[in-house]
């Protein structure tokens, strides 16, 4: 086997999607970038899902999944809600507008430029993940907004990827700023789980933190508004 340079794999391009499905009376979705079209006629896609996710369970049991293509207006928050929380602990669908497709799975309507409804026709077991091969049975364009790319998510939104995603970047925890441990009041702090940045000038009004509150003065039981991580998961930017 030759040498593996993980950075070479990070040069593969992706979009960013919410994969949704159902299982009896459960409806749920998760963020994913590992989605690609594989044939045109019939239109088929491949989607790689970690076996531990609730969405994986739903897709396996129902045999259906939908893809909501996020557009570039999507904030870190929606990607975080669906990407750093499990529907096993929290009703994600109550956090967004959605409609049920013809296959009974929900499609997300917020910050979505297109939706694909599909039926699973095959699957490949890859130990940690299953690749579901699906035939698109209905699709719709919702807006002309450009689709979100995985590169944009990292470069402009400063988003991160959790360990169970197929493209987890082991280098994303590397510090760019060697002075980041310096203490200073009114410094910005970054959530090490999802990448959301606490800016003291803005505070977190929805979480009860007034603008102008230094990170050090936030109560210890405050949690990241995007992924729910505790205060001790933040580091100076």
Q: Give residues in contact with ligand FMN (CB under 6 A).
A: 28, 30-34, 48-50, 53-55, 79, 82-88, 153, 159, 161-162, 164-166
Q: How far is the CB of 32 from ligand FMN (least distance, A)?
A: 3
Per-residue exposure over 9-25, b if at least 16 CB sit within 10 Å of its own CB, e if not: eeeeebbbbbbbbbbee
Q: Which is nearer to ligand FMN, 36 or 97 (CB)?
A: 36
CB 33 within 8 A of CB 15: yes
Q: Which is nearer to ligand FMN, 88 or 210 (CB)?
A: 88
Tokens standing for residue 237 = 């930017």
d(CA 157, CA 226): 13
d(CA 65, CA 59): 6
Q: Which is nearer to ligand FMN, 75 or 162 (CB)?
A: 162
Q: How far is the CB of 167 from ligand FMN (least distance, A)?
A: 7
Q: Which is nearer to ligand FMN, 64 or 153 (CB)?
A: 153
d(CA 156, CA 42): 35
Q: How far is the CB of 90 from ligand FMN (least distance, A)?
A: 8
Q: Which is nearer to ligand FMN, 50 or 118 (CB)?
A: 50
Q: How far is the CB of 185 from ligand FMN (least distance, A)?
A: 31
Q: How far is the CB of 214 from ligand FMN (least distance, A)?
A: 28
d(CA 13, CA 151): 7
How far apart, in Å, are the Cα atoms of 198 and each of 91, 214, 220? 25, 9, 14
Tokens standing for residue 218 = 């936030």
Closest residue to bound ligand FMN by CB? 83
Q: What is the distance, to the nearest Å, from the Cα of residue 71 to the centroid of all Cα atoms in its chain?
A: 13
């Amino acid at each position: 086997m030759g040498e593996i340079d993980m950075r070479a794999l990070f040069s593969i391009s992706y979009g960013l999607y919410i994969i949704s499905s159902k299982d009896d009376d459960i409806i749920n979705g998760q963020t994913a970038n590992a989605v690609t079209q594989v044939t045109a006629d019939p239109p088929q896609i491949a989607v790689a899902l970690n076996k531990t996710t609730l969405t994986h369970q739903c897709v396996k049991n129902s045999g259906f999944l939908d893809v909501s293509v996020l557009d570039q207006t999507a904030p870190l928050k929606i990607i975080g809600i669906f990407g750093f929380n499990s529907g096993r602990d929290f009703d994600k669908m109550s956090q967004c507008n959605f409609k049920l497709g013809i296959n009974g799975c929900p499609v997300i309507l917020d910050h979505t430029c297109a939706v694909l409804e599909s039926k699973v026709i095959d699957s490949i077991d890859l130990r940690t993940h299953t690749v579901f091969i699906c035939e698109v049975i209905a699709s719709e364009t919702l807006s002309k907004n450009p689709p979100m790319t995985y590169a944009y998510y990292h470069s402009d939104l400063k988003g991160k990827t959790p360990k169970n995603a197929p493209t987890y970047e082991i280098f994303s925890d590397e510090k760019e700023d060697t002075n980041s441990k310096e203490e200073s009041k009114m410094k910005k702090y970054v959530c090490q789980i999802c990448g959301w940045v606490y800016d003291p000038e803005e505070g977190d009004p929805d979480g009860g933190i007034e603008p102008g509150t230094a990170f050090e003065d936030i109560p210890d039981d405050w949690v990241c508004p995007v992924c729910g991580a505790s205060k001790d998961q933040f580091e100076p930017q």
